[in-house]
A and B are shown apart, each in its own frame.
Chain A
Amino acid sequence: MLQNKSFVRKTKQGKVIKVVREHYLRDDIYCGASFCQNCDTKSARFSSPDSTILVVDTNVVLNQIDLLENPAIDDVVVLSVVLEEVKNKNLAVYNRLRALCSNTLRRFFVFSNEHHKDTYVKGMVGESPNDRNDRAIRVAAQWYKNHLGGPTRVLMITNDRENKRKATEEGISADTIESYVKSLNQPALLDLLVQPHFSEDMEIEDLRPSKKKVIYTEHKPMSEITSGIRCGIYHQGKLRVNRYNPFEAYVGSESIGDEIIIFGRGNMNRAFDGDVVAVELLPQDQWHTEKSLSIAEEDDEEDDSIHLAPNSADDAPRITNLPQGSSINSNIAPSRPSGRVVGIIKRNWHAYCGSLEPMAMPAGNAGIAHALFVSKDRRFPKIRIQTRQLGNLLDKRIIVSVDTWDCQSKYPSGHYVRTIGDIGDRETETEVVLIENDIDARPFSAQVLSCLPPLPWSVSPEDLSNPIRQDLRHLRIFSVDPPGCKDIDDALNCTLLPNGNFEVGVHIADVTNFVHPGTPLDSEATQRGTSTYLVERRIDMLPKPLTEDICSLRADVERLAFSVIWEMTPEAHVISTRYTKSVIKSCAALSYVEAQARMDDSRLMDPVTIDLRNMNTLAKIMRQRRIERGAITLASAEVKFQVDTETHDPLDIGMYQIREANQMVEEFMLAANVSVAEQILKSFPQCSLLRRHPSPTKEMLEPLLRTAASVGLDLDVSSSKSLADSLDQAVGDDPYFNKLIRILATRCMTQAVYFCSGDLSPPEFHHYGLAAPLYTHFTSPIRRYADVIVHRLLAASLGIYKLPTIFQDRPQLTSIADNLNYRHRNAQMASRSSIELHTIIFFRKRPTDTEARIVKIRANGFIVFVPKYGIEGPVYLTMRGEKGGGEWVVDEQQQKIKKTDGSIAYGVLQSVKIHMEVVEPQPNRPKLQLSLI
């Protein structure tokens, strides 16, 4: 009863070993028929003795699994030899078969023929394994026939002609699956039959080396790529994957001028977002025409999660956009050049965070499991990892890094690096947000901290006697900041001069006195680029002793500052400007609320309040002048959280309140920035760091115009002034209308960016939003590195500082500006993600009903904006997955969605009532859901 199975195997390392295993034959394996006299019928499945029992072979199972799952096919014996073969060939089909067998409603019985003493078949000399398996199936069918006897008919189903022939010879009734199905007289079943075909489905992932086929084309060797680039057949560029559609990517190429689109995984040929790749253009007839954007055609593939209302076009989901035929004459839509990747010049692999796809645990608790890791950022493909501790890793956010991606595997392979924490846990998700946005939140290293001056620090006599510093401690200087702010980087003063004019000063913390170029502190700050503000904490660019103590312009202490002082008339005309380093002593650190209260309280007459009121008057005049020039006031949908100080849980959300005091400070900061920009550009026309805001193009304003047109509003977008005027005039009967239009307008704007003045021509320096010909960032060096650079430039322009050599290296400057833009953008996205995260936590226990406005119509519903909380998201009218072809019809001209019987209609900008709550469609992955009431 003991047999020996021996075979020769090749191990992964290539060694050939002989494997000998025991194989026991039993006599207690039962046939599974409840009417059988001899066998134990505990786990029997077949109940009626008159039915036909089918014995299926491997290929029938592999190819016709859909047919087998149909309830019309029943009373099937699945032999263990067939089960093993199916498992080795296709795991997905094996799982489905197992599900069928364990389903008590279906009569599928697993018969362990390999271990039954009567049906065990030993391989004969010279017999191939396939033949041996076929013989085993025949022997088992024969046994069943003899065992059950009587009226039961045993039918072997196989499509293999040889097998069928031999079976019939041995007296077993055999049939092909087609003829059996036909005999059942159910024409519907015939449709489920899969025609025999010999091509393998692309979806089947077979990991055995002999079966692997090449999915991706090989990369071309480096020499061929370099020569190709030189002659122009290949183009080099950085790959940017569309965040909202990971199968679409762009390679910016100088040689073409336009971007090359890469569609589809195959064409991307294993390149990752951020890699430097070599691209070959496809022949022109394969160039992808742009899909014209019609509302009804938008895919459900679009990101349907709730997110914060985007503040600019950069944040909104990117859809390839072409203006509709309505307002602009359209030529044939130009197709964008498409290409495919032929080689990777430089890889940009780093560690990715995300979680594992849920899967069943392997046996033995420590067996190797091959798991698929899904990155949180949709731009990256799934990564296959091997792990022995699957139990520890499921349902956790983990970090995985990539090792290789060869042509034969659908996904890259990597390994596990570390666990961050449980999914949904606030600390974990915050850390994920930081990692995704490449924000360095590590504590400052010992090297960096050694660059700080020793504490406790105070203004020293050398600083006071330094000739470049003016002693301004006698001035009445105060600062106005958000409540609880510890890193105060700006302070103001306003003195009435004897001649009736005002001397207004803006004093900025003198960070460059402590951060010197070339030191580890400076390098670290350059890398970080900016401070990041999350809901519950702040990731600093500079170490805390600097930001909160040494540089911070706190009240009642002497501090070093960099001052911009204007003499201006009471009508806010600037007569003269001067810049100087100084020593100041702030007399009050007010919050916006306090400052506003003081100004409003007419009883207060103390000097600080009078100064505040004077400044306010001047600020109002300056602001009006700006608006006349064309500055646009955009409404922000920014939201503030009230956070419980102990648990850091959000207590309340509210829209950010803008008061006069905010605008006053803002106005003077803008003025300071503009003045400094003029000064540094004068001295360094080629290497100043400025900030610009490109005007929005016609395409970008298209959605706004369309929406406005649908409610009968005509907006003039020819210049920023005309747009600002149109926005001011856009008043409807409903008080919120204007704000809503402004919010929609905000979305069409691009982000402002830093640039090096030598890279562009003066007309391009323009800042659209502020309607200023020149702008830079000067007023927040504690939290922005750009300001540190501008400080250095200003000091050099005054002759009190020698500019480091890096400023003469234009490409370096450009890359610094690019890095600053990158960091700035990431910090903003991190802030928004943190707010979204806290929003979900806030709504977790508080399902709410509230009012919302429709901002966009989609095929199966619409997108609403909730003004109270500043979030927007989709509301579905039809179930997900069904196209709205049934009940609801979209009217594009009027931007409405109507029910087919005309009873209800929803138009854009209409107000609706919705219900918001947090649901968990998958365990541990909560999301916010909006539904119509």
Chain B
Amino acid sequence: MEYVSPEGLRLDGRRPLEMRQLRAELGAVSRADGSAVFEMGNTKVIAAVYGPREVQQRSQQLNDKALIRCEYTMANFSTGDRMRKPKGDRRSTEISLVIRQTMEACILTHLMPRSQIDIFVQVLQADGGTRSACINAATLALADAGIPMRDLVTSCSAGYLNSTALLDLNYVEDSAGGPDVTVGILPKLDKVTLLQMDAKLPMDIFENVMQLATEGCKAVANYIREVLIENTKQLENRRGV
């Protein structure tokens, strides 16, 4: 099956170095301290942040920094078939762990000791790249909640099919069995926090693909910044400034 046609177009009409359409919205869940909906193409993720608030389980309280908790679930209706077990299975647990550790690296936890910050991420539509979308959504939600962060964390995935490096794989391309590299960076500091890869890749090609994914992350970061600036302007308007 050709994933990249000889004319240089992928299955959905993008070129190999193009990302899908991004859309973000802040403040979707009114009850939460901060929330965001993030869409990458047909992948739609909603994130909600509660905190900083009092720790619910005293035994786990940390005296010098905030406790971060994260929960990742997929809605039953998110994929083509109805999912049987939306949370608690191994993949969800691992992704929860990954998101938590990624956000922990960028939140200034030492400013909020003895408190807890909860991040809930749910996938509403899954079409490839859910991990990246979740991290981007979590970043936006944390920003919406006003939690102090070192830098934004943005993430993007890239793959390698038909001897071409492709940016932002969708579900069809992901299930082709080729390698899938997910990268999360702190754009201002230009440091990599998250790096996951599966399937085999020779090392030099891996470097190219990782570079491509990092570029993608920077593009997402630009977009997120614009959205946040836009949002701030609106808040200013409402306050009459």
B-binding residues in A (CB < 8 A):
2, 15, 17-26, 80, 98, 101-102, 110, 112, 114-115, 362-367, 388
Inter-chain contacts of A362 with B (CB < 8 A): 1
What's the nearest-Cβ distance from chain A to residue B43, in Å?
10
Residues from chain B with a CB closer than 8 A to the CB of A102 are: 6
Assess the A112–B6 pair: CB atoms within 8 A.
no
Whole-angstrom distance between the alpha carbons of A2 and B81 in the complex?
24
- 6 A-B contact pairs sorted by A residue (CB < 8 Å): A21-B172, A23-B12, A110-B6, A110-B7, A363-B161, A364-B177
Given contacts A2-B21, A22-B20, is CB(A366)–CB(B177) below 8 Å?
yes
Measured between beta carbons, the chain B residues less than 8 angstroms from A101 are 6
- Interface membership of B162, Cβ < 8 A: yes
Residues of A within 8 A of B14 (CB): 24
List, in ascending order, chain B residues with CB within 8 A of A17's CB.
80-81
Those of B1-25 within 8 Å (CB) of chain A:
1-7, 9, 11-14, 20-21
A363:B172 contact, CB within 8 angstroms: no
Residue-by-residue, is B167-189 near A (CB-CB < 8 Å gives 1, otherwise 0)?
00010100011100000000000
For the residues of B in contact with A, the DSSP-based class is loop
Q: From residue B90, how far is it (CB to closest CB) to chain A in Å?
A: 22
Beta-carbon nearest neighbor of B161 in chain A: A364
Answer yes or no: B231 CB below 8 A from chain A CBs: no
Docked complex Cα distance between A565 and B14 (Å): 92
B9, B41, B127, most chain A CB atoms within 10 A: B9
Q: B162 to A26, Cβ gap below 8 A?
A: no
State A18–B127 Cα separation when bound (angstroms).
Answer: 13
Most buried by B among A17, A22, A388: A22
Q: Chain A residue with minimal CB distance to B171?
A: A21
Answer yes or no: B199 CB below 8 A from chain A CBs: yes
Of all chain B residues, the one with the shortest Cβ separation from A18 is: B80
Q: A22-B42, A112-B13, A363-B2 provided; 15 other pairs, C-beta below 8 A?
A: A15-B81, A21-B11, A21-B170, A22-B12, A22-B21, A23-B13, A24-B12, A98-B6, A112-B7, A114-B13, A115-B13, A363-B4, A363-B178, A364-B162, A365-B177
Residue on A nearest B81 in the bound complex, by CB: A17
In the A-B complex, the 3 residue pairs with the closest CB atoms: A366-B177, A364-B176, A115-B13
Are A363 and B1 in contact (CB-based, < 8 A)? yes
Give the chain B neighbours of A363 by CB distance below 8 A.
1-4, 161-162, 176, 178
Q: Kindly provide the distance from the CB of A388 to the nearest chain B CB, expressed in whole angstroms.
A: 7
Distance A21 CA – B173 CA, assembled complex (angstroms): 12
* A24 vs B19: C-alpha distance when bound (angstroms): 11
Please give me the residue from chain B that is nearest to A2 by CB atom.
B21
Residues in chain A near residue B199, CB distance under 8 A: 365-366
Q: Determine how close the nearest CB of chain B comes to the CB of A903; give it in whole angstroms.
A: 55
Per-residue 0/1 for B181-205: is the Cβ within 8 Å of any A Cβ (1 yes, 0 no)? 0000000000000000001100000
Residues of A within 8 A of B178 (CB): 363-366
Which residues from chain A contact B7 at a C-beta distance below 8 Å? 80, 110, 112
- Binary contact track B22-40/A, C-beta < 8 Å → 1, others 0: 0000000000000000000
Residues of B within 8 A of A18 (CB): 80
A22 to B168, CA, bound (A): 13
Assembled-state Cα–Cα distance A441/B42 (Å): 58
> Which of chain B's residues have a CB closer than 8 A to the CB of A367?
1, 176-177
CA A608 – CA B209 in complex, angstroms?
Answer: 82
Residues in chain B near residue A110, CB distance under 8 A: 6-7
**Distance between Cα atoms of A388 and B178 in the complex (Å):** 11
Contact B6 A22 (CB under 8 A): no
- A25 and B21 CA atoms in complex are apart in Å by 12
Could you tell me which B residues sit within 8 Å of A by CB distance? 1-7, 9, 11-14, 20-21, 41-42, 80-81, 127, 161-162, 170, 172, 176-178, 199-200
In the complex, A20 Cα to B20 Cα: how many Å?
A: 15
Q: Please, how many angstroms separate the alpha-carbon atoms of A19 and B127 in the complex?
A: 11
**Contact indicator A22/B177 (Cβ below 8 Å):** no
- Dominant SS among interface residues on chain A: mixed
- Residue picked from B14, B80, B170, B199, most chain A C-beta under 10 Å: B80
- Bound CA–CA A388/B176 (angstroms): 11
* Chain A, residue nearest B4 (CB): A363
CA A112 to CA B9, docked complex, whole Å: 9
A365 to B199, alpha carbons, bound, how many Å?
10
Residue of A nearest to B173 (CB): A364
Query: How distant is the Cα of A388 from the Cα of B20 in the complex, in angstroms?
Result: 29
Chain A residues with CB under 8 A of B170: 21-22
- Complexed CA–CA distance, A95 and B170 (Å): 27
* Known contacts A98-B6, A363-B1, A364-B161: A26-B13 contact under CB 8 Å: yes
Cα separation A240 to B4 with both chains bound (whole Å): 48
In angstroms, how far is the closest chain B Cβ from the Cβ of A9? 9
Measured in the bound complex, the distance between the Cα atoms of B4 and A26 in whole Å is 16
> Which residues of A sit under 8 angstroms from B41, Cβ to Cβ?
22
In contact, A388 and B6 (Cβ under 8 angstroms): no
| CB-defined contacts of B127 to chain A, threshold 8 Å | 20, 22
Q: How far is the CB of A604 from chain B (nearest CB, A)?
A: 71
A187 to B11, CA, bound (A): 42
Chain B residues contacting A22 (CB-CB under 8 Å) are: 12, 20-21, 41-42, 127, 170
Distance to closest chain A CB from B76 (angstroms): 14
Q: How far is the CA of A388 from the CA of B81 in the complex (A)?
A: 24
Measured in the bound complex, the distance between the Cα atoms of B125 and A18 in whole Å is 13
Contact B13 A364 (CB under 8 A): no
List of B residues within 8 angstroms of A24 by Cβ: 12-14
Q: Give B163's nearest chain A residue, CB to CB.
A: A363
A21–B10 CA distance with the chains assembled, in angstroms = 12
- A78 to B172: give the CA distance in the assembly, Å: 25
* Min CB–CB distance B151 → chain A (angstroms): 30
Give bound CA distance, A1 to B2, whole Å. 23
**Most chain B CB inside 10 Å of its own CB: which residue of A112, A115, A364, A365:** A364
- CA separation between A364 and B179, bound complex, in Å? 8
Tell me which residues across on chain A come within 8 A of B3, comparing CB atoms. 363-364
Which chain A positions have C-beta within 8 A of B5? 80, 112
Question: What is the minimal beta-carbon distance from B190 to any residue of chain A, in angstroms?
Answer: 30
| Minimal Cβ-Cβ distance residue in B for A30 | B7
Most buried by B among A18, A24, A112: A24
Which chain B residue has the least Cβ–Cβ distance from A87?
B2
Q: Complex formed: what's the CA distance from A388 to B41 in Å?
A: 29
| Cα–Cα distance between A286 and B105 once the two chains are bound (Å) | 84
A104 to B120, CA, bound (A): 56
Complex Cα distance, B7 from A112, in Å, reads: 8
Closest residue of B by beta carbon distance from A368:
B177
CB distance from B121 to the nearest CB of A (A): 22
Q: How far is the CA of A815 from the CA of B172 in the complex (A)?
A: 57
Bound complex: CA of A409 vs CA of B209, how far in Å?
Answer: 42
Contact A20 B13 (CB under 8 A): no
- B176: nearest chain-A partner, CB-CB: A364
Provide the bound-state CA to CA distance between A307 and B14, in Å.
57
Return chain A residues, CB-CB under 8 Å to B11: 21
Assess the B9–A388 pair: CB atoms within 8 A.
Answer: no
B3 smallest CB distance to A (angstroms) = 5
How far is B80's CA from A362's CA once the two chains are assembled, in angstroms?
25
Distance (whole angstroms) from the CB of B186 to the closest CB of chain A: 29
In the complex the two chains form, what is the Cα distance from A114 to B95 in whole Å? 37
Docked Cα-Cα span, A23 to B127, in Å, equals 13
Complex: A2 Cα to B199 Cα, angstroms: 31
On chain A, the residues within 8 Å of B80 by CB distance are: 17-19
With a cutoff of 8 Å between Cβ atoms, the chain A residues found around residue B81 in the complex are 15, 17
Residues of A within 8 A of B176 (CB): 363-364, 366-367
A363 to B127, CA, bound (A): 20
How far apart are the CA atoms of A365 and B159 in the complex, in Å? 12
Q: How far is the CA of A115 from the CA of B14 in the complex (A)?
A: 9
Closest to A22 in B: B12
When chains A and B are docked, how far (Å) is the Cα of A110 from the Cα of B172?
24
- Nearest to B164 among chain A residues (CB) is A363
Which A-chain residue is minimally distant from B200 (CB atoms)?
A: A365
Expressed in whole angstroms, the minimum distance between the Cβ of A140 and any Cβ of chain B is: 14
Give the shortest distance, in Å, between A31 (CB) and chain B (any CB).
13
Q: Residue among B161, B170, B172 with the most chain A CB within 10 A?
A: B161
Residue of B nearest to A21 (CB): B12
Q: Return the chain B residue nearest A363 by Cβ.
A: B162
